[in-house]
């Protein structure tokens, strides 16, 4: 069985970060080790009153213990990271644990819809680009990509040339493959566009678009992508699995009149994910 480690916060209620990464990657038949970077009562889109316990000081001792035990990981997948110091420590973790046969996936979860999440700055976005430079695969949305590259953010109606330029510039900073999520060039369709800096090849895949926006879908996408890659699917196939699964989660959410505003129904979509993985 493959083993990955995912490094991100645990938002106790909110269906994002570790509370989606653990179940989804486990459902893919992959051992999922975690380094929780912080514990929050909810994610930060709850307007007020969420608790936040920083666990930065635990990351290095956890890493050192694992080193002594000789643990290895087939993938390292990072999501929401809350501070410059965490970026630095996670970058050192890559140096320690990256080897010739594993892959590093970075989701620079810090912004959406043209805005940084609470507590983040432009400087943080630039530091995140530094972390992305050490990754094999990065999966920003367009907002995150624009903040990292100091590009103008165009919310819709952008050209393929604009997106291609951003993808190329993301890989110029170091990542092997760049994937932009939430790409839409046509009414009613949404998906991804990716760039392989080694072959110069672009790839895109789209499916149905719902005119809604839910928290946590980026984490669901990145987690299901990681699970697919760990099932020996190539990046293109893994991207189609992640797009289709994310759509299924949104569909199941929309048919429920009592849905939560803060996250999608990924739980009941897990059988679909397992099917998409061909299991
Ligand atoms: O879904 C990304 C995410 C993860 N973790 C925390 C968040 C968010 C998005 O707002 O607040 C704590």
| Predicted confidence (pLDDT) per residue in 69-102, tens digit | 999 999 999 999 999 999 999 999 999 999 999 9
**83 exposed, middle or buried (CB, 10 Å; 0-12, 13-18, 19+)?**
middle
**pLDDT the model gives residue 47:** 82
**pLDDT one-digit tens code per residue, 252-278:** 999 999 999 999 999 999 999 999 999
117 ligand 1 Cβ < 6 A: yes
16 ligand 1 Cβ < 6 A: yes
**pLDDT one-digit tens code per residue, 145-198:** 999 999 999 999 999 999 999 999 999 999 999 999 999 999 999 999 999 999
For residue 246, is pLDDT > 90?
yes
For residue 236, is pLDDT > 90?
yes
Beta bridge partners of 104: 76
Beta bridge partners of 78: 7, 106
**pLDDT the model gives residue 82:** 92
Q: Is the pTM of this model over 0.95?
A: yes
- Region 136-146: what's the mean pLDDT? 98
**pLDDT the model gives residue 119:** 92
**163 exposed, middle or buried (CB, 10 Å; 0-12, 13-18, 19+)?**
buried
Distance from the alpha carbon of residue 32 to the mean position of ligand 1, in angstroms = 19
Nearest atom in ligand 1 to the alpha carbon of residue 40 is 12
**pLDDT the model gives residue 179:** 98
Length of the chain: 279
**pLDDT one-digit tens code per residue, 40-56:** 999 999 988 999 999 99
Percent of the chain topping pLDDT 70 = 100
Nearest atom in ligand 1 to the alpha carbon of residue 38 is 12
Mutate-to-test residue for ligand 1 from 6, 9, 16, highest number of ligand atoms within 8 A of CB: 16
H helices present in the chain, as ranges: 18-27, 56-69, 84-97, 122-132, 142-149, 160-172, 217-229, 235-254, 270-276
Distance from the alpha carbon of residue 117 to the mean position of ligand 1, in angstroms = 8
What CA–CA distance (Å, rounded) separates 44 from 50?
A: 7
219 ligand 1 Cβ < 6 A: yes
Distance from the alpha carbon of residue 138 to the mean position of ligand 1, in angstroms = 17
What CA–CA distance (Å, rounded) separates 258 from 250?
A: 14
Label residue 25 by pLDDT band (50, 70, 90): very high
Mutate-to-test residue for ligand 1 from 15, 34, 117, 213, highest number of ligand atoms within 8 A of CB: 117
109 ligand 1 Cβ < 6 A: yes
18 ligand 1 Cβ < 6 A: no
**pLDDT the model gives residue 48:** 85
């Amino acid at each position: 069985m493959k083993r990955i480690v995912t490094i991100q916060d645990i938002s106790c209620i909110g269906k994002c970060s570790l509370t989606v990464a653990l179940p989804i990657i486990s459902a893919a038949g992959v051992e999922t080790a975690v380094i929780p970077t912080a514990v929050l009562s909810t994610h930060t889109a709850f307007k007020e009153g969420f608790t936040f316990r920083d666990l930065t000081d635990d990351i290095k001792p956890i890493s050192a213990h694992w080193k002594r035990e000789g643990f290895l990981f087939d993938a390292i997948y990072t999501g929401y990271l809350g501070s410059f110091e965490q970026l630095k420590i996670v970058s050192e973790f890559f140096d320690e644990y990256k080897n010739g046969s594993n892959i590093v996936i970075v989701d620079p979860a810090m912004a959406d819809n043209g805005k940084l999440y609470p507590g983040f700055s432009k400087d943080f976005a630039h530091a995140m680009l530094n972390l992305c430079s050490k990754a094999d695969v990065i999966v920003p949305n367009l907002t995150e990509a624009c903040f990292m590259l100091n590009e103008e953010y165009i919310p819709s109606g952008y050209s393929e040339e604009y997106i291609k330029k951003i993808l190329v510039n993301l890989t110029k900073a170091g990542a092997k493959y760049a994937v932009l999520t939430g790409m839409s060039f046509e009414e009613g369709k949404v998906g991804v566009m990716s760039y392989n800096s080694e072959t110069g090849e672009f790839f895109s895949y789209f499916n149905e678009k719902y005119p809604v926006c839910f928290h946590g879908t980026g984490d669901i996408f990145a987690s299901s992508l990681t699970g697919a890659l760990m099932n020996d699917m190539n990046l293109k196939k893994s991207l189609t699995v992640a797009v289709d699964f994310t759509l299924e989660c949104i569909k199941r959410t929309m048919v429920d009149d009592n849905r939560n505003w803060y996250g999608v129904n990924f739980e009941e979509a897990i059988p679909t994910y397992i099917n998409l993985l061909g299991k």
